[in-house]
Amino acid sequence: MSLKKILILLAAILLSSCEKNSVSVIANGQYKVKEPSGDFSHIADPVLRWRAYGLRDYVLEQSRMCFCIDAGKRRYLIVSNEKLVDVIDVESGESLPAEQHAWYDTVDELFALAAKIDTSEVASSEIIYDPRFGFPVRIAVDWDAGIADEEVTILSTNLKQLVSGKVLAAGMPVSEK
């Protein structure tokens, strides 16, 4: 076997054996993230399933479909110690001003919103939970069929565990877990 074939074979083996939890970077290298470990998808209750992972530091991609500012824009939500500490535009990698953070919801806030929706009092609603992690990936609510443009859909995807990032420099360390 030639040296070239051996090197190609070795490279293929190394690439295929890369650990699933390898660290990657997002937001122009501002944060390091990895795939959360464990699989608690057997837990039926979405809230209990989410809590089983024990994620206090995570990144979630979120967008809102509504008649509102920044509708449809994809954002990274940076959550440290269960608090929203940064919101970053996915395309530009730039942080949003702190006053805009209130427009976005952590996983716990998504669960609270889902619990607040009384299906007998809204025109329509749909809540879909992530099959592995349990968090709401889609919350769609039309609060009143007689009012135009008040409906909202929140899409949350691409959950990653926060490993490190600029929250450390701001004095908000990633919690130990």
Secondary structure of 25-41 as H, E, C letters? EECCCCEEEECCCCCCC
* 73 SS3 class: coil
pLDDT band at 70 (very low <50, low <70, confident <90, very high): confident
Which amino acid is residue 43, in one-letter code?
Answer: I
Could you tell me the pTM of the whole model?
0.78
CA gap 23, 34 in Å, rounded: 5
Task: Report pLDDT digits (tens) over 111-129.
Answer: 999 999 998 888 899 999 9
- The continuous run of DSSP H or E covering 155 comes out as strand 152-165
Q: Looking at the predicted structure, is the pLDDT value of residue 150 above 80?
A: no
